[in-house]
Amino acid sequence: MLAVWRRVIGLAWPIMAEQTTRTLMRTVDIIISGMFSPAAITAIGLADLYARLPLRIGLGLGGGAIALSSQDTGRGAGDTRDEAITQAIVLGAIAGVPFVLFGLVLSEFAISVLGGNAAVVAYGSVYLALVMVTAPARHVGLIAARALQGTGDTISPMIVNVVANVANVTGSVVLGLGLFGAPRLEIVGVGIATAVANVFTGIVLVGVIASPFRQGRLVRPTDWVVTKQLVAVSTPRVGEGMVATAIEFPFNSLLLLLGTEVNAGYQVGRRVYQQITSPLGRGYNVAASVVVGQSLGAGKPDQARFEGWSIAALGLATVGVIGIGLALEADTFVAIFTDDPETVEYAITFAVAYGLGAPLLVTYIVIAGALQGAGETKIPFVARASGLFLFYLCGSYIAAIPLGYGAAGVGAGIVGYFAWSLLVVTVGFRYGDWAGKAARMMDERTDSERS
């Protein structure tokens, strides 16, 4: 187990560093927004609901890319690996075009339909339009990073993303607050910084793949078997993300029904959790996909199974413990984001809920990543989609409104969602035929390559 942990940490630390700067970017956005008003915080949160749509597609196609590239790297099949990487990038760029149109035409309507007041709509619509026009680049950046990680190269995506994220943070501060002679653009400045970072990341990571210095290269797509497998692996991942995003709309409406300060408190409480623990969780998720995928590619399913459980234990020993500490010191962390007394009260409630749920969530994330490395994305889809509907939305509503527990009831629904999702993926990983599925997919790609 210690050997697995050492390998995972070697793979995961660059992802953690990258994700730390990425979550720092979102954290800075909320801190800056908090300097304007609670309405600005809510506007960023509501706009991000829509901004997650291209994120979900990029992560979904990236999941397909990392599954195929890790398996083919493990078995030394460079041609099908390169085919999968190229096809995923092309599909991602094409899938981003509708979001450009959405951002240009429907951004104001999209914010207003969620029930935000005039100030929230004014802030959110401009920010949303700026972010959506760079959706194709966002897709390409996410997919290219996952493809490189699948080959075992987690350093290159880290360097590119850290540079982009630091530039994004700097741009948000300078343009948002009007420092160093720059105009004070407030939310517009935050949106511009994010858009520029998205374009930079996509272009540079494609350049890294096209260079002769890394495993993997861009080729002319020709293999329909790879296309079929990419779509088959990616579709549940995209569906999982889309369900999560769709659930967020009525969920945020529920929060707004409880009050603007409740919604703002949720954004702050969740951001506290994400800034502190999300980078580690994402690193373990990707490392689990890479390690399990490469072991399956090398024909070692028993080793892959042991590695999955071992990485889950590592997540519990780190993120799980940190989450409990966060719950105990929630008031200290929340104070960094806002000093509005009512918002602080609700933010502490949500930060405690996320902290207490951290051991459950990180274990789910790791096991879902292990299944993804095998190309098994249906089980995590069922786990997350059902948990979101039954507990995150319905459970939260029942506890908050009919039972009268308010924000505390929503917090209980969040923890219930984590517990249910973990139960489903654990059963799937223990009893499912994910190793056999990976073997059949690799055989199919080998037969196609030979023909």
Q: State whether the Cα torsion 89-161-138-263 is positive or negative.
A: positive
User: CA-to-CA distance for 400 and 334, rounded, in angstroms?
Assistant: 22
Return the number of other C-beta atoms located less than 10 Å from residue 195's C-beta.
23
User: CA-to-CA distance for 216 and 196, rounded, in angstroms?
Assistant: 26
User: CA-to-CA distance for 63 and 207, rounded, in angstroms?
Assistant: 20
> What is the SS3 assignment for 212?
coil
Are 158 and 15 a contacting pair, CB within 8 Å?
A: yes
User: CA-to-CA distance for 158 and 166, rounded, in angstroms?
Assistant: 12
Are 354 and 333 a contacting pair, CB within 8 Å?
A: no
Residues 6+ positions from 382 with CB-CB distance below 8 Å: 424
The distance of Cα 357 from the centroid of its chain, to the nearest Å, equals 17
Amino acid at position 389, single letter:
F
User: CA-to-CA distance for 249 and 308, rounded, in angstroms?
Assistant: 33
Q: Which two tokens stand for residue 267?
A: 């954004």
Helix axes 78-95, 187-210, angle to 10 degrees: 150
Q: Which two tokens stand for residue 272?
A: 């506290």
User: CA-to-CA distance for 300 and 197, rounded, in angstroms?
Assistant: 40
User: CA-to-CA distance for 276 and 355, rounded, in angstroms?
Assistant: 10
User: CA-to-CA distance for 62 and 148, rounded, in angstroms?
Assistant: 10
Q: Which two tokens stand for residue 133?
A: 């026009």
Q: What is the pLDDT of residue 162?
A: 92
Q: What is the pLDDT of residue 199?
A: 94
Are 210 and 218 a contacting pair, CB within 8 Å?
A: yes
Residue pLDDT tens, the chain, 451 long = 999 999 999 988 998 888 888 777 777 777 777 777 777 777 777 888 788 888 888 988 888 889 999 998 888 888 888 888 999 999 999 999 999 999 888 888 888 887 767 777 877 888 899 889 999 999 999 999 998 998 888 899 999 999 999 998 899 889 888 888 888 887 788 889 989 999 999 999 999 998 877 666 788 888 888 889 988 999 998 888 889 878 988 998 899 889 888 888 898 888 788 777 888 888 999 899 999 999 999 899 999 999 999 999 999 999 999 999 988 988 888 887 777 788 888 899 999 999 999 999 999 999 999 999 999 999 999 999 999 999 999 999 999 999 999 999 999 999 999 999 999 999 999 999 999 999 999 988 887 766 6
Return the number of other C-beta atoms located less than 10 Å from residue 449's C-beta.
15
Q: What is the pLDDT of residue 215?
A: 66
CB neighbour class for 76 (10 Å; exposed up to 12, middle 13-18, buried from 19): exposed
Amino acid at position 245, single letter:
T
Q: Which two tokens stand for residue 307?
A: 């590695």
Closest CA to 112 of 124, 102, 121, 99: 121
Are 392 and 386 a contacting pair, CB within 8 Å?
A: no
Q: Which two tokens stand for residue 279?
A: 């980078």
Q: State whether the Cα torsion 296-298-301-306 is positive or negative.
A: negative
Give the CA distances from residue 362 to residues 149, 198, 318, 434, in Å, rounded to whole numbers and listed in that order.
Answer: 20, 27, 9, 20
User: CA-to-CA distance for 375 and 233, rounded, in angstroms?
Assistant: 6
Q: What is the pLDDT of residue 89?
A: 93
- The CA angle 361-367-46, to the nearest 5 degrees, is 45
Q: What is the pLDDT of residue 282?
A: 87
Q: Write down the pTM of the prediction.
A: 0.81
Closest CA to 315 of 369, 234, 267, 266: 369
Element (H, E) at 202: helix 187-210
Residues 6+ positions from 287 with CB-CB distance below 8 Å: 8, 11, 12, 15, 311, 369
Q: What is the pLDDT of residue 216?
A: 66
- Provide the residue count of the chain: 451
Q: Where are the domains of the chain?
A: 2-450
